[in-house]
Structure 1
Amino acid sequence: MTHKPSKAQQQTAIGEGLAIGCLALGAESVTSAKVEIEFAFRKAWRNWPHAGKFPAVHADVYRDDITRILHDSKGRTDASAAAWEFGGSEYVPFIRQDWPFEELADSAGEDFGVNLDGWKELAKAFMDDLNSEH
């Protein structure tokens, strides 16, 4: 990485990467319940080995960016790989480009060194915690 990605670039990558990881694992949606999403993301984030590459993404009890990241991802025009759509009681991940998951993941993580396995690891931990709550 030759440049320091901006806060918006970091948050866009997390939104895209999480969508790609969830879709690659077969998830069609996640709850939009703020407390549940934030708790699941904080837990997944804490154990994800790539979290340190995204210093502008906050995931703690004082500030958790995930609901805003998911909610804003559809409107981000610079997001080329994937995004989330708010559907009332759930967030639905979707693909913007008809590419294989590996290429989508590489596009989302190109500035951060995160590949498909990395995004799937974050998504699995996130979804496992959400599924244990429901």
Structure 2
Amino acid sequence: MKLKTSHILLASAALIFLSNGERVRGSLEKGEAIRQEQSSFNDYIRQNRTKARMAEKLSKVALDRYRNNCILVRTAKTTGEDYFSEGTRVMNPRLSQTLRPGAFICNSLGDTAIVSENGTIADIARITMTDQEEFKQLLSQR
């Protein structure tokens, strides 16, 4: 079998194609990694925006609870001002007793919640920075 120029050209093209195939594959993998990174970042941004909208809505709930004369309480754990956390027991500082389930409670730090059936904090809503002025006015009126 004689080697023709066309055979040499085909063999050269095949070698070039094979040697570039690895680079092309690597480039495609890098592109996919970048797309996944961008997708993850976009998801992160979307989640943060959702959390911000939820915080704004909860702040309005907290303001309504202050307007409706929520009971100012302290946590039983510290008997001082502390941010609310789910499941913590609360007490009425004037009476030193637990509160009835369903009562709206609040503190001077801008937290509001509802007393659960077992006498703990549930359904927390906090005042956001945008509502601080109105919160301060409501607190000073009390």
TM-score (norm 1): 0.29
TM-score (norm 2): 0.28
Larger Rg belongs to: 2
Higher relative contact order (CA 8 A, sep 6+): 1
Which of the pair is proportionally richer in strand?
A: 2
